[in-house]
């Protein structure tokens, strides 16, 4: 394995965390030493106490009966990960949900691990938020990383196109249980967060579909998504 700082990015639901977990498991089966990290901002599955130094990396893919596939990971903001890497000398370091890292010195320190300790570091995360703005940590990674790899996935509305962006929506008919009849309203603006809370849902979209929906929303103020189809009431 080449000693590189690598940034794997994709839209939501593209399987970023699943690929990170698979890489972790594969290296472990090859008797390699791997250290996994995540961020304290990711508490979707495990609610963190203030003194916790460990969390989990989880994936939404291939879940059965509510089962969540996960691996244990250190919380990168709460441990001296450079000292840990220097002592353990792992064959690989994996960092998930890298876009949520607020202290950008952490990103520089990851680069130092590659350059000074000669340990490869693979980061996984989103490139931009639902308003097409780069996450600060992702932007820095793009500037200093050795390699950028896009994990491709198809657009929710045009299967022939690659999804570049995340479209944030809110469920309007909250009592509806039939997924094909649920009405989602596009939302533009808001906090840079990945997690879906309450009635918020994200769709993977190509740039052209995103801009088409955004333009319609600005013009008509009444754009709805029903069963993966876009409806505009003139």
Phi, psi torsion values for 58, nearest 5 degrees? -125, 165
The pLDDT score that the predictor gives to residue 11 is 93
SS (H, E, C) 87-141: HHCCCEEEECCHHHCCCCHHHHHHHHHHHHHCCCEEEEECCECCCCCECHHHHHH
Residue 137 lies in a domain: yes
Let me know whether 97 and 132 are in one domain: yes
Let me know whether 105 and 69 are in one domain: yes
Tokens of 178: 């039939």
Let me know whether 107 and 191 are in one domain: no
Residue 155 lies in a domain: no
Residue 160 lies in a domain: no
Last residue of a domain, one of 102, 126, 150: 150
Residue 98 lies in a domain: yes
Q: Which residues is 92 bridged to in the sheet? A: 34
Let me know whether 178 and 202 are in one domain: yes
Let me know whether 90 and 171 are in one domain: no
The pLDDT score that the predictor gives to residue 36 is 98
Instruction: Give per-residue pLDDT as tens, 118-131.
Output: 999 999 999 999 99
- The sign one gets for the Cα dihedral 190, 194, 200, 201 is positive
Let me know whether 140 and 173 are in one domain: no
Let me know whether 62 and 169 are in one domain: no
Question: Which are the contacts of 32, defined by CB distance < 8 A and separation ≥ 6?
Answer: 90, 91, 92
Pairing of strands 183-187, 54-59: unpaired
Residue 53 DSSP code: -
Q: Print the domain residue range for 71.
A: 5-150
Question: Which are the contacts of 100, defined by CB distance < 8 A and separation ≥ 6?
Answer: 39, 41, 42, 125, 135, 137, 194
Q: What percent of the chain has pLDDT over 90?
A: 74
The pLDDT score that the predictor gives to residue 54 is 94
Alpha-carbon dihedral 140, 143, 146, 147, rounded to 10 degrees? 90
Residue 203 lies in a domain: yes
What's the number of domains the chain is made of? 2
Residue 32 lies in a domain: yes
Phi, psi torsion values for 84, nearest 5 degrees? -60, -45
Tokens of 17: 């965390």
Upper half-sphere CA count for residue 220 (Cβ side, 13 Å): 16
Query: Which CATH number does the domain housing residue 107 bear?
Result: 3.40.50.300
The pLDDT score that the predictor gives to residue 50 is 86
Scanning the structure block, which residue is given the tokens 């909250």? Answer: 174
Let me know whether 184 and 121 are in one domain: no
The pLDDT score that the predictor gives to residue 33 is 97
Residue 159 lies in a domain: no
User: How many Å apart are CA 21 and CA 2, to the nearest integer?
Assistant: 19
Q: What is the pLDDT along the chain (234 residues), one digit of tens a residue?
A: 789 999 999 998 888 999 999 999 999 999 999 999 999 988 766 678 888 999 999 886 655 555 667 899 999 999 999 999 999 999 999 999 999 999 999 999 999 999 999 999 999 999 999 999 999 999 999 999 999 999 999 999 987 789 999 999 999 999 999 999 999 999 988 765 556 667 889 999 999 999 999 999 888 878 999 999 988 866
Residue 119 lies in a domain: yes
Let me know whether 141 and 225 are in one domain: no
The pLDDT score that the predictor gives to residue 189 is 81
Let me know whether 133 and 223 are in one domain: no
Let me know whether 117 and 173 are in one domain: no
Last residue of a domain, one of 93, 117, 150: 150
Element (DSSP H or E) covering residue 223: strand 223-226
Let me know whether 224 and 138 are in one domain: no
Last residue of a domain, one of 110, 126, 150: 150
User: How many Å apart are CA 88 and CA 33, to the nearest integer?
Assistant: 8
């Amino acid at each position: 394995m080449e000693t590189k700082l690598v940034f794997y990015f994709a839209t939501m639901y593209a399987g970023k965390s699943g690929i990170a977990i698979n890489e972790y498991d594969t290296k472990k089966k090859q008797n390699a030493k791997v250290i996994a990290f995540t961020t304290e901002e990711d508490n979707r599955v495990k609610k963190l106490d203030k003194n916790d130094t460990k969390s989990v990396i989880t994936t939404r893919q291939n879940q059965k009966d509510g089962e969540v596939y996960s691996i244990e990971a250190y919380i990168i903001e709460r441990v001296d990960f450079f000292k840990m890497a220097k002592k353990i000398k792992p064959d690989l370091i994996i960092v998930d949900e890298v876009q949520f890292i607020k202290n950008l010195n952490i990103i520089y320190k990851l680069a130092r691990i590659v350059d000074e300790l000669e340990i490869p570091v693979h980061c996984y995360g989103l490139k931009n938020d639902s308003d097409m703005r780069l996450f600060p940590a992702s932007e820095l990674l793009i500037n200093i990383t050795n390699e950028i790899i896009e994990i491709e996935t198809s657009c929710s509305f045009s299967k022939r196109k690659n999804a570049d962006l995340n479209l944030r929506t809110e469920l309007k008919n909250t009592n509806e249980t039939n997924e094909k009849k649920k009405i989602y309203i596009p939302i533009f603006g808001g906090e840079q967060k990945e997690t879906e809370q309450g009635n918020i849902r994200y769709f993977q979209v190509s740039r052209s579909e995103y801009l088409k929906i955004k333009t319609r929303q600005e013009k008509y103020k009444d754009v709805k998504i029903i069963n993966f189809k876009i409806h505009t009431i003139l």
